[in-house]
Structure 1
């Protein structure tokens, strides 16, 4: 019996020229993404060749050509494969683990400890100043000219709103007010849940955290630099502030 397969080599997915998934024979080590086994995920090993008529495409590129539902299923697949790959041994006793037959859990047969997939909560914030300015920053690791929004991981014991305030103060030296939740998006780089917030500038002068950013400025709506691509939550947030469009509509498709 054949199944639709998400086949990954690291963060690259095997698709044909029309970005469609292959249909493959199921194997015992495959990860089931549906109860009936019609959708599976597996790794393409380094010594395996790419089949004729197919290509490996970075999963980031698929945000722009797939629907949200397609991308999120691919996102789920790559995160579960990475989780399984990284938990081959028990973190309590070091014994080799086994995959649970019906749950996403790596089970230790020696001590009985179960290791489940983890999600990293992140906040991403669009900061406005006045009626027509937003704060955009250039990441130090980004080799392009793209500017994006302030974002970072939530720390232990922190509320989401506290994380927004801390990340903004750390990265650009600014204080914000009127923090409001907008939406969320799973983001598999590597296993994050991006939670979007809107905030208003309150006080301070921009002082960038140089190991994280190379630049940060308030930009007029009609003078924006290169911004994140459509399909990312950052792009949807910028469009929301500029045009009043919702970050996600009732059909849950990114705008």
Structure 2
């Protein structure tokens, strides 16, 4: 058993786990990606025609949020993002030469011009907005045609922008509202594909709802005790909504964002 490595084996956004949603242990291959230095934890992609071993199953990584601890999900997030980065940087972006993995760093190195390509993280702000003592703003994503789930205002941080500026801009663009008292809450790695969700809370300061129709199909202020369908338990959006409506902590050290 000591020669076996704990393995994150992915097929796109699905992960190979046993019936208890735990990772398998496998023999390491030369092509495996080392997830953490000093530990026998590796990551690899399941080959297209590779059979699924008996006793294991492919489970969407989002589903594992409700079973795993925060540290387990964060390590899985690291694994899937590193694999995605390695697949996307097989060639040098400067000269087009095939790259090689660095011996000790997470970097793809060009043997011709020596340019190094490191993993990139895309910062994304997500904001829970309240009005008065008992109302929360929730919005329905226009691209979500199959459910009635309402979530929070979120968007990518632009070049040259502070996080607080991104919070204000995304809110004005998507629902036309002004904010005040913007405060940082928490963050969560979100490997879909390589985001860092940065959570804020803010208060309504003024304006009327005006929807950016290509992004938001509906938005409204809801009473804390009259919420519509909200994001699934385990997501940072769910934790943020529970934080302002029920006073729950945003993150917990034993379970992933419950």
TM-score surpassing 0.5?
Answer: yes
Distance 1:253 1:41 in 2: 21
DSSP 3-state at the match of 2:225: helix
Over residues 176-195 of structure 1, what are the superposed CA-to-partner deviations in whole Å (9 max), with x where a residue is unaligned? 11111111111111111111
Distance 2:103 2:87 in 1: 16
Q: What are the residue-to-residue correspondences of 1:135-174 with 2, within 5 Å?
A: 135-142=137-144, 143-174=146-177
Aligned in 2, Cα 1:52/1:249: closer, same or farther, shift over 3 Å?
A: closer
Q: Work out the CA distance in 2 between the residues paired with 1:227 and 1:30.
A: 38
Secondary structure in 2 matching 1:148: coil
- Tell me, in whole angstroms, the C-alpha distance in 1 between the residues paired with 2:215 and 2:51: 38
Q: Could you list the runs of 5+ residues in structure 2 that have no partner in the other structure?
A: none
The more displaced of 102-111 and 32-41 is 32-41
Aligned to 1:47: 49
Contact 2:77 2:191 in 1 (8 A): yes
Task: Find the aligned partners of 1:221 and 1:36 in 2 and give their Cα distance.
Answer: 47
Partner of 1:70: 72
Q: Which residue of structure 2 aligns with residue 238 of structure 1?
A: 241
**What do residues 182-230 of structure 1 show as CA deviations (whole Å, max 9, x unaligned)?**
1111111111111111111111111111111111110001110011112
Q: Does 1:227 align with 2:253?
A: no
1:35-80 CA-partner distances (Å, limit 9, x unpaired): 2351100000112121222111110001111111111111110000
Task: Give the distance between the partners of 1:214 and 1:89, measured in 2 at CA.
Answer: 40
- Separation in 2 of the partners of 1:9 and 1:137? 31
Query: 1:222 aligns to what SS in structure 2?
Result: coil
- Return structure 1 stretches of 4+ with deviation > 6 angstroms: none
- Structure 1 pair 148/46, CA: closer, same or farther in 2 (3 Å)? same
Counterpart residue number, 1:191: 194
> For the Cα contact (< 8 Å) 2:138–2:221, is it kept in 1?
yes
C-alpha separation in 1, matches of 2:245 and 2:83: 38
Q: Matches of 2:39 and 2:183 in 1, distance apart?
A: 40
2-side partners of 1:207 and 1:45: how far apart?
47
Higher relative contact order (CA 8 A, sep 6+): 2
Answer whether contact 2:70 2:253 (CA < 8 A) is retained: no
1:220/1:121 Cα in 2 relative to 1: closer, same or farther (>3 Å)?
same
Please state how far the C-alpha of 1:241 moved relative to its aligned partner.
0.6
Cα distance between partner residues in 1 of 2:148 and 2:83: 32
TM-score scaled by length of structure 1: 0.97
Please give the secondary structure, in 2, of the residue aligned with 1:183: strand
1:38 aligns with 2:40: yes
Matching residue of 1:98: 100
| Structure 1 unpaired stretches of 5+ | none
What is the RMSD of the two structures over their aligned residues, measured on CA atoms? 1.3
